[in-house]
């Protein structure tokens, strides 16, 4: 049997453990704060993993789909917490994918100005990205994750047994985020088994988050491919899932870096090899999207403090590049037409 991996996320004063591997759900009780007398378990219907809280708890179910990732859902959860008498010493346990951890984490950060939250990730995307690092949030009609907070969990459980029942589309979404780590480090993640690959992604993210918790610098690199991805999600009304959009966003970032003279065609080909060939993911723009509309949406991105801003590859690896003109952006988008 594959051994469990234990990864520390060394946030100063708020370090926590991420447990990865088959059967990791058994660790949930060990990660609950000793002060907690009750737990509010936030989850969705039909998930392949049940969790034992080991303390009195009530369960609250949120809907499937980005249309439920709203302030209204957060308000309802906070009212549910108040109804059960949850206190600041208790705990919220989020069981699900990235949408559940984002919503439950944001609700926990708001209720009583901050209640401990523990994540039990049931999707590959949540395991390698959403459940680690403390970013929470919900959408507005104007864009994705525009309202949120930084709120670190007290622990994260990644039980890979939950992945056995994961639909193919959800697997692809997770692989999209996993591919990102190839370009952050140059690591050959494909040489590792699944537990070690997920744990390595967590280690990479933990190192970045520990050095820049609130995305003032280095942490923005974790958004590689995400500027276009978030615009695509909004423009397609979320019919394109997050991980699928990130696949396209990384290839766009490679083309844009090439247009700007930051990388050569060979490096663009490396991106295509990892994203399209190694992971089998799509790299074309969805049919029917309007490039100029995408540019407008990308201007609303959280990183866009000095005009259009992207995380781009270059001679020294990934870095944040601000003040990019529309022309090279539109040229890169034109290369990706279906």
- Residues annotated as catalytic are 113, 135, 177, 205, 215, 219, 223, 226, 230, 242
Q: Give the C-alpha separation, 254 to 267, whole Å.
A: 8
Question: Collapsing DSSP states into helix, strand and coil, what is residue 205?
Answer: helix
Residues 6 or more apart from 205 whose CB is under 8 A from it?
128, 129, 132, 133, 181, 222
Q: Give the C-alpha separation, 39 to 14, whole Å.
A: 20
Instruction: Enumerate long-range contacts of 51-56, CB under 8 Å, 24 or more apart.
Output: 51/25, 51/93, 51/95, 51/120, 52/28, 53/28, 53/29, 53/93, 54/28, 54/29
Pairing of β 308-312 and β 319-324: antiparallel
Bridge partners (DSSP) listed for residue 121 = 96, 158
Q: Is the dihedral of CA 78, 52, 123, 64 positive or negative?
A: negative
Rounded to 10 deg, the angle between the 194-211 and 168-185 helix axes is 60
DSSP result, 298-315 = HTTSTT-SSSEEEEE--T
């Amino acid at each position: 049997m594959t051994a469990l991996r234990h990864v520390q996320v060394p946030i100063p004063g708020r370090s926590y453990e991420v447990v990865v591997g088959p059967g990791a759900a058994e660790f949930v009780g060990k990660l609950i704060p000793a002060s907690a007398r009750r737990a509010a378990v936030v989850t969705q219907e039909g998930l392949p993993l049940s969790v034992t809280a080991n303390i009195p708890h009530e369960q609250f179910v949120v809907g499937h789909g980005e249309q439920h990732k709203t302030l209204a859902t957060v308000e309802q959860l906070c009212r549910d917490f108040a109804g059960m008498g949850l206190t600041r010493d208790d705990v919220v346990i989020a069981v699900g994918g990235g949408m559940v951890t984002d919503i439950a984490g944001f609700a926990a950060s708001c209720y009583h100005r901050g209640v401990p939250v523990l994540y039990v990730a049931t999707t590959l995307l949540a395991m390698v990205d959403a459940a680690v690092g403390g970013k929470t949030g919900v959408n507005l009609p104007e864009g994705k994750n525009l309202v949120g907070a930084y709120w670190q969990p007290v622990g994260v459980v990644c039980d890979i047994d939950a992945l056995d029942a994961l639909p193919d589309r959800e697997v692809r979404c997770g692989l999209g985020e996993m591919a990102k780590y190839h370009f952050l480090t140059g690591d050959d993640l494909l040489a590792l088994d699944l537990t070690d690959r997920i744990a390595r992604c967590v280690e990479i993210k933990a190192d970045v988050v520990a050095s820049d918790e609130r995305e003032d610098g280095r942490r923005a690199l974790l958004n590689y491919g995400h500027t276009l991805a978030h615009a695509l999600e909004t423009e397609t009304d979320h019919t394109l899932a997050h991980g699928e959009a990130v696949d396209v966003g990384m290839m766009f970032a490679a083309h844009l870096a090439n247009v700007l003279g930051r990388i050569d065609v060979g490096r663009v080909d490396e991106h295509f090899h990892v994203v399209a060939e190694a992971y089998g993911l799509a790299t074309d723009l969805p049919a029917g999207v309007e490039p100029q509309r995408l540019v407008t949406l990308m201007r609303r991105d959280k990183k866009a403090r000095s005009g259009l801003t992207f995380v781009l590859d270059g001679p020294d690896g990934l870095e944040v590049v601000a003040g990019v003109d529309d022309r090279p952006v539109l040229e890169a988008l034109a290369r990706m037409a279906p």
